[in-house]
Amino acid sequence: MPSPAAGARSPESLGSPRALPRVVVVGSGFAGFSVLRHLERLLPPDAAELIVVSPVDHLLYTSLLPQVATSEAEPRHLAVSVRAALRRTTLALGHVVKVDFRGRTITVRQPNAVHAQLRWDRLVLAPGAVTRTVDIPGLTDHALGLKNLAEAVYLRDHVLRQFEYADACEDPVVRRARCTFVIVGAGYTGTELAAQMVRFTRRAVGQYPRLTERDIRWILTDLAPRVLPELGEALSRRAARVLAGRGVDVRLRTSISEAGAGCVRFIDGESVATHTLVWCAGVAPSPLISTLGLPTQHGRLVVDARFQVPATADVFALGDAAAVPDVTRGCQPAGQTAQHAVRQGAVAARNVAASLGHGTAKPYRHRNLGFVVDLGGTAAVADPLGIPLSGVAAAAVTRGYHLWALPCLTNRTRVAADWLLDTLTPRQIVQLGFLPPAKSSINAAERIDIYHSGHS
């Protein structure tokens, strides 16, 4: 194992000098953050040392990523600081790329690409998921994802760049291609994105003297028979009506079969000229999971209802990366939602604490609070506690839910201020250029290719 470069802190050196049991949490997303927040409350300070290993120093509130792509919310306001919110936890920055279950160590690839090892007494795996791509020719080269802040900001830049090209171009065919945008996946991410982006681009196009709203074309496609299959049919129909009213071309029971530099081909053979393909067709567990050599279900790590990973000792897993049995749905794997991840975090913390002699363990039992889907402006659909809502009422519930669910007052206040400012002042429609196009593919932007192959 190479030693850390000068100036780099080895995660091992971050530990407390006292010989306390060490709880290492992998991932600072909804699940990992929630585990630590509850462990800090459940465990007395001298009961354990808490460490979180994550490539980022924050929890990302992903639900508002479409609003970053549309300039409605500032990227930073979705990032909840781990250092500020988790005062007893030590942050070790990097990706866990290997787990040695027998030796009770993990290998951390630090941001400077140096690898370091970290010992654990309790290991909690919550590395989340990455965008799930499928074997469609050209997809990984040409599709953009929407899983992190860099991708959301890049998408906004990319769309505005298409308008720049279109505005400078005489050829109507080329112009049409630049102003055509295709989203694959009509679940909540793709539907929210389409509904909000069409409003954003209509506003943005006013900045380009030679373009009009009529030049803009958004296509949303899915193999499913309806948009938002997560919701009941009535709400799904209402969302479809909002999309149709805004001119989104919704194509169901179909998808694309090929992606190229300037076009996508649909399954029926139709070719659509475009330079923008956004892939929102589901997620796959973090590539770390497949390196572990442990049983998986649809790629997610198998765990029991107490989050314990079978055939290992003192290892827990939860969130999008784990197939947590949902006892309220016949023990099918729980949905990959923030709602599940946060609630699982509370119960997993209790079980980790119990394994250290504090309290008693219990199985996870989920009560669904419902879905909220922000379609932009005063349009939304939601089913809080099973009550179907649409329009202004749903929009109010949606916004209220996000403010409640954001786990830090600072972020809540800033997001609320973003929304208020957006109604009082013109939206700032500018490119930020943080991520170069060469790093914008899903594999590069989500760091999918850094993991070791082989088992620990």
Which parts of this chain interact with ligand FAD (CB under 6 A)?
A: 26-32, 53-56, 62-63, 65, 95-96, 126-128, 146-147, 188-189, 286, 288, 319-321, 336-339, 341
Of the two residues 96 and 205, which places its CB atom closer to ligand FAD in the complex?
Answer: 96
Nearest approach, Cβ of 306 to ligand FAD (angstroms)?
17
Nearest approach, Cβ of 417 to ligand FAD (angstroms)?
21
Of the two residues 24 and 250, which places its CB atom closer to ligand FAD in the complex?
Answer: 24
Please report, for the chain, how many H helices and E strands are present, in that order.
13, 28
Region of 454 (left: φ > 0; alpha: ψ -120 to 50; beta: rest) is left
Nearest approach, Cβ of 362 to ligand FAD (angstroms)?
20
Nearest approach, Cβ of 350 to ligand FAD (angstroms)?
17
Nearest approach, Cβ of 269 to ligand FAD (angstroms)?
31
* Whether 26 contacts 32, CB under 8 Å: yes
| Partner residues linked to 381 by β-bridges | 373, 390
Of the two residues 37 and 95, which places its CB atom closer to ligand FAD in the complex?
Answer: 95
Residue 454: Cβ-neighbour burial (10 angstroms; 0-12, 13-18, 19+)? exposed
* Whether 182 contacts 264, CB under 8 Å: yes
Alpha-carbon distance of 279 to 138, in angstroms, equals 12
Residue of this chain nearest to ligand FAD (CB atom): 29
**E strand spans, 342-401:** 372-374, 380-382, 389-390
Of the two residues 77 and 178, which places its CB atom closer to ligand FAD in the complex?
Answer: 77
Nearest approach, Cβ of 147 to ligand FAD (angstroms)?
5
Nearest approach, Cβ of 247 to ligand FAD (angstroms)?
23
Of the two residues 139 and 372, which places its CB atom closer to ligand FAD in the complex?
Answer: 372
Residue with tokens 């390196």: 291
Of the two residues 133 and 286, which places its CB atom closer to ligand FAD in the complex?
Answer: 286
If DSSP codes are grouped into helix, strand and coil, which group holds residue 439? helix
Of the two residues 95 and 350, which places its CB atom closer to ligand FAD in the complex?
Answer: 95
Q: DSSP letter string over 173-228?
A: HHHHHHTEEEEE--SHHHHHHHHHHHHHHHHHGGGSTT--GGG-EEEEEESSSSS-
Alpha-carbon distance of 383 to 196, in angstroms, equals 20
Nearest approach, Cβ of 402 to ligand FAD (angstroms)?
8
Alpha-carbon distance of 160 to 429, in angstroms, equals 8
Enter the tokens of residue 421: 């400012």
Of the two residues 70 and 286, which places its CB atom closer to ligand FAD in the complex?
Answer: 286
Calculate the CA dihedral of residues 327, 331, 336, 338 and round it to 10 degrees: 10
Calculate the CA dihedral of residues 224, 287, 194, 61 and round it to 10 degrees: 120
Of the two residues 53 and 281, which places its CB atom closer to ligand FAD in the complex?
Answer: 53
Nearest approach, Cβ of 111 to ligand FAD (angstroms)?
12
Of the two residues 28 and 133, which places its CB atom closer to ligand FAD in the complex?
Answer: 28
Nearest approach, Cβ of 183 to ligand FAD (angstroms)?
12
* Whether 427 contacts 202, CB under 8 Å: no
- The gap between the terminal CA atoms of the chain, to the nearest Å, is 14
